[in-house]
Structure 1
Amino acid sequence: MPYSLSAPVTSELLIRKSRFLGCVEPVADRVQALQRVAAVRAEHPTATHVCWALMAGGHSAANDDGEPGGTAGRPMLEVLRHQDLDGVLATVVRYYGGILLGAGGLVRAYTDSVAQALLKAEKVPRTVFQGLCCTVPYALEGWLRRELAAQGATLGEVAHGQAVTLDFSVPQAAAAALVTRINDASQGQAVWHRPDGEGA
């Protein structure tokens, strides 16, 4: 089972006069991760590098931000992978101290920055959501809203026409049983649509 983190955690390492500021934090998806990376850059305008790695929704990404290829982002990503994390962004801000660390030194510095932060982090089981969309008669709208709330679903767009169309994301483990209950309650009148996108 993949895990996320309950809250952001930071670390700080000083290696041969270079300062490495690590952070691991929960994120919903790549879009939120890139927003966080931009925010970190804004917080550290004089930093030499802002490297990052992301595991989210089974997808991964890594960025060396000008460090020699494969010495920052990839090693950071491997730390996240080995910890079975998902929905987690790792960033490391480097202030260069004037002494070259070499490829091996860089890999160790970036790996240690993430690992040190993770030592203090609280892991939480990650809930995977599935996006669904259905149309039901008006008489069922109130019941369906209560059912979604009871299942921990997130209600998205609701459209009122000849009937009511609801977009929602539900924990994947509860999705099949919920679909069956909706079909039973609507006596086969529920119309299922292909969701616009999968949940986070």
Structure 2
Amino acid sequence: MDHLSTLTGTVTARQEIKKSRFAAVAGPVEDESAAKAFIAAHSDQAANHNCWAWRIGQASRFSDDGEPGGTAGKPILQAIDGQSLDRVAVVVTRWFGGILLGSGGLIRAYGGTAAMCLREAEKAPLVETLPASVACGFSDLSLVQSRLEAVPGVHVHALRFNETGAEIRLSLPKSAADEIGRMVADLTSGRATVKLDP
């Protein structure tokens, strides 16, 4: 997953091909319900076709929305995969201009508009994270917390206090998990340890 990216925000692109207008909207999505909401929000009911695709990890879906099978949704998904993107949804809307494009023309138009839109987008690398927790005493808490928050890719989700100190709930980059565990143990002379959640 380390080589995959996602989009940092929503981006659009437009082009006209043989009098048909094509508009693509792409954006980041976290899960299937977010992808469905994105598609609904960016589809134009007055247009002839709202074709779309999304990829979230191993899951992907696409729709030709009335265009001949395989000429719209699949090329949009190929544009997402071709740029090594994940957690992304793309909607390409078409307003028919009266000239038939044929199957090859449709594939190029939908895939090309999606690819053009994605090329314009600002991207951020996706980092695979692991859920974890750190139990530490009051005397070590502020040092451990500040050092963890300084590590890129570490996100502290919750801090729960108990009678001996606190439990820090966090997610950390998979590639740096061992190194972060050693850092916490070294900082506290072994009093605190990082425990990966099953």
Normalising by structure 2, report the TM-score: 0.78
Cα distance in structure 1, aligned partners of 2:33 and 2:141: 32
* Cα distance change, pair 135–65 in 1 and its aligned pair in 2 (3 A): farther
> How far has the Cα of 1:168 moved from its partner?
1.3
Partner residue, 1:131: 131
Partner residue, 2:158: 157
Any idea what SS the aligned residue of 1:93 has?
A: strand
Any idea what SS the aligned residue of 2:13 has?
A: strand
Query: Residue 63 of structure 2 aligns to which amino acid in structure 1?
Result: D
* Equivalent pair of 1:151/1:174 in contact (CA under 8 Å): no
Unaligned runs of 5+ in 2: none
> How far has the Cα of 1:179 moved from its partner?
1.6
Q: How does 1:1-200 map to 2 (within 5 A)?
A: 1-41=3-43, 44-56=44-56, 58-67=57-66, 68-152=68-152, 153-162=154-163, 163-184=165-186, 185=188, 187=190, 189-190=192-193, 192=195, 194=197
> How far has the Cα of 1:37 moved from its partner?
1.9
Percent identity between matched residues is 33
* Cα distance change, pair 125–192 in 1 and its aligned pair in 2 (3 A): closer
Normalising by structure 1, report the TM-score: 0.77
Cα distance in structure 1, aligned partners of 2:95 and 2:183: 56
* Cα distance change, pair 193–94 in 1 and its aligned pair in 2 (3 A): same
Query: Residue 21 of structure 1 aligns to which amino acid in structure 2?
Result: A
Any idea what SS the aligned residue of 1:192 has?
A: strand
Unaligned runs of 5+ in 1: 196-200
> How far has the Cα of 1:189 moved from its partner?
4.6
Cα distance in structure 2, aligned partners of 1:9 and 1:183: 44
Query: Residue 167 of structure 1 aligns to which amino acid in structure 2?
Result: R
Query: How many aligned residue pairs are there?
Result: 192
Cα distance in structure 1, aligned partners of 2:70 and 2:146: 50
After superposition, the CA RMSD in angstroms is 2.8
Cα distance in structure 2, aligned partners of 1:167 and 1:34: 30
> How far has the Cα of 1:30 moved from its partner?
4.0
Cα distance in structure 2, aligned partners of 1:151 and 1:191: 14
